[in-house]
Structure 1
Amino acid sequence: MASNETPRQWLQRTASRGARWSRLSVIAGTLSTLVLMVQAWCIATIAQRMVIDGADFSSLLIPLLLLPPAFIARGLLVRARTLCGARGGIEIRQSVRKELLERIAVLGPLWARRQHSATLSNRVWDQVDALQGFYADYRPQMLLCAIIPIIILAAVAPLSWAAALILLATGPLIPMNMAMVGIGAKKRQEDQFLEMGRMSRHFLDTLQGLSTLKLFDISKRQANEVHTASESFRRRTMRVLRLAFLSSTVLEFFASVSIALLALYLGFVYLGQFNFGMYDHGINLFIGLFILILAPEFYQPLRELGVHYHAKAEAEAAAEDLMPILNRRVFERDNDQPPWQPRAGLTLSLEGLTARYAGRESPALTEVSLTIQANETLAVIGPSGAGKSTLLNVLMDFMHPEAGTLRVSDGDHPSRALTDIRPDDWQHQIAWVGQSAVIVSGTLADNLRLANAHASDQILKEALEQAALHHWLAELPDGLETRLGEGGRAVSGGQARRIALARAFLRDARLVLLDEPTASLDQESERLVMDALSRLCKGRTVVLLTHRMELLALADRVLMLSQGSVQALDTLEALRAPGGPLARSTKSETEVRHV
Structure 2
Amino acid sequence: MTRTATSPDTAPALATASLPEQTPPDDFVARRWLESLARAGGRWPQLAILCALLSTFVLLAQAWAIAHLAQGVAIDRVGLEALWPAIAVLAVSLSLRGALSGLRGYAGTRASQSIRRRLRERLLERFAELGPLWVRRQHRASLANRVWDQVESLHSYYADFRPQTRLAGLIPLLLLLVVFPLNWAAGLILAVTAPLVPIFMILVGIAARKRSEEQFQEMDRMGRHFMDLLTGLKTLKLFGAARRGPQVEAVSHAFRKRTMRVLRLAFLSSTVLEFFTAVSIALLAVYLGFHFLGHLQFGTWGDSPLDLETALFILVLAPEFYQPLRELGVHYHAKAEAEAAATDLAPILGNSPLADRENTEIDGTVAATHQETSVASSHLGLQHLTLEDIAVRYPSQYPDSTPALGPLSLHINAGEHIAITGASGSGKSTLLNLLLGFVSASDGLLSLNGHPLSHGLPAGMITWVGQDTVILSGTLADNLRIAHPHANDCELEDALGNADLLEWLHSLPDGLATRLGEGGQPLSGGQARRLSLARAFLHDAPLVLLDEPTASLDAESEARVITALKRLGENRTLLLLTHRPELLPLCQRLLRLDDGRLVEDRPLDDTATRGES
Gaps spanning 5+ residues in structure 1: where?
409-414, 588-595
Query: What is the rounded CA distance, in whole Å, between the counterparts of 2:600 and 2:168 in structure 1?
Result: 74
Q: 1:88 to 1:65 in 2, by over 3 A?
A: same
% identical equivalent positions: 53
Per the alignment, do residues 196 and 151 of structure 1 end up closer, same or farther by CA in structure 2, a change over 3 Å counting?
A: same
Q: Say which SS state the counterpart of residue 442 (structure 1) adopts.
A: coil
Q: Which of 532, 541, 544 is the aligned partner of 2:573?
A: 541
TM-superposed CA distance for 1:295, in Å, is: 1.2
1:255/1:299 contact within 8 Å kept: yes
> Which residue of structure 2 lines up, in the alignment, with residue 360 of structure 1?
397
Q: Contact (CA 8 Å) 1:89, 1:132: kept in 2 or not?
A: yes
**What's the offset of the Cα at 1:513?**
0.9
Matches within 5 A, 1:42-81: 42-57=65-80, 59-81=82-104
Please list the CA deviations of residues 74-96 of structure 1 after superposition, one character each: whole Å capped at 9, or x if unmatched.
22222233233333333433444
- Matched residue SS, 1:484: coil
* 1:209/1:533 CA distance change after superposition, 3 Å: farther
1:28 paired residue number: 51
Q: Deviations over 1:264-311 (max 9, x none)?
A: 333344445544445533333212221221111011111101100000
Contact 2:142/2:220 (<8 A) preserved: yes
Structure 2 CA distance for partners of 1:573 and 1:197, relative to 1, 3 Å:
same
Structure 1 residues 293-302 or 168-177, which shifts more?
A: 168-177
In the alignment, the residues of structure 2 paired with residue 532 and residue 42 of structure 1 have an alpha-carbon distance, to the nearest angstrom, of 82
**Aligned residue for 1:195?**
218
User: What amino acid maps onto 1:355 in structure 2?
Assistant: V
**Does the alignment pair 1:563 with 2:595?**
yes
Contact 1:25/1:82 (<8 A) preserved: yes
Aligned to 1:432: 464
Q: How many residues align?
A: 570
Map 1:86-125 onto structure 2 (within 5 A): 86-125=109-148
Distance 1:479 1:199 in 2: 45
Whether the 8 Å CA contact 2:439–2:455 is kept in 1: the answer is no
1:401-480 superposed matches below 5 A: 401-408=441-448, 415-417=449-451, 419=453, 426-480=458-512
Q: TM-score, normalised by structure 2?
A: 0.83
Q: 2:227 aligns with which of 196, 204, 207?
A: 204
Partner of 2:544: 512
Quote how far apart the aligned CAs of 1:440 are. 1.2
| 1:250 and 2:272 matched | yes
Which deviates further from its counterpart, 500-509 or 94-103? 94-103
2:377 aligned to which of 318, 322, 339: 339
Q: SS at the partner of 2:590?
A: strand
CA apart distance, 1:224: 5.5
**C-alpha contact 1:350 1:406 (8 A) present in aligned 2:** yes
Is the deviation greater in 91-100 or in 363-372? 91-100
Contact persistence 2:25–2:346 (CA under 8 A): no
Give 3-state SS (helix, strand or coil) of 1:371's partner. Answer: strand
Contact preservation (8 Å) 1:39, 1:71? yes
Q: Secondary structure at the match of 2:586?
A: coil
| Aligned counterparts of 1:110 and 1:450: Cα–Cα separation in 2 | 21
SS in 1 for 2:151: helix
Aligned residue type for 2:91: P
User: How far 1:315 moved relative to its partner?
Assistant: 0.8
Supply the RMSD in Å over aligned alpha carbons.
Answer: 3.2
Question: Contact 2:438–2:456 (CA<8 Å) still a contact in 1?
Answer: no
Residue 470 of structure 1, CA deviation: 4.0
* Corresponding residue of 1:348: 385
**Aligned residue identity for 1:501:** L
Which range is displaced more, 242-251 or 315-324? 242-251
1:458 to 1:337, Cα distance in 2 relative to 1, 3 A: closer
Aligned to 1:314: 337
What are the Cα deviations for residues 246-268 of structure 1, in whole angstroms up to 9, with x where unaligned? Answer: 32233223322332333333334
Deviations 1:382-432 (A, max 9, x none): 122211011112222333323333344xxxxxx332529996xx4323232
Which of 183-192 and 552-561 deviates more?
Answer: 552-561
Q: Which runs of 5+ in 2 are unaligned?
A: 1-23, 351-359
- Secondary structure of 1:428's partner? helix
State the alpha-carbon separation in 1 of the partners of residues 554 and 251 from structure 2.
40
Q: CA deviation at 1:334?
A: 5.7
Judge conservation of contact 1:339–1:422 (CA < 8 Å) in 2.
Answer: no
Higher relative contact order, structure no. (Cα contacts within 8 Å, ≥ 6 residues apart): 2
CA shift at 1:178, angstroms? Answer: 1.1
2:377 aligns to what SS in structure 1? coil
Rounded to whole Å, the distance in 1 between the matches of 2:606 and 2:43 is 71
CA distance in 2, matches of 1:224, 1:545: 47
- Aligned partner letter, 2:214: D
Amino acid at match of 2:213: E
Confirm or deny: 8 A CA contact 1:346 1:510 kept in the other structure.
Answer: no
Instruction: Name the structure 2 match of 1:378.
Output: 418
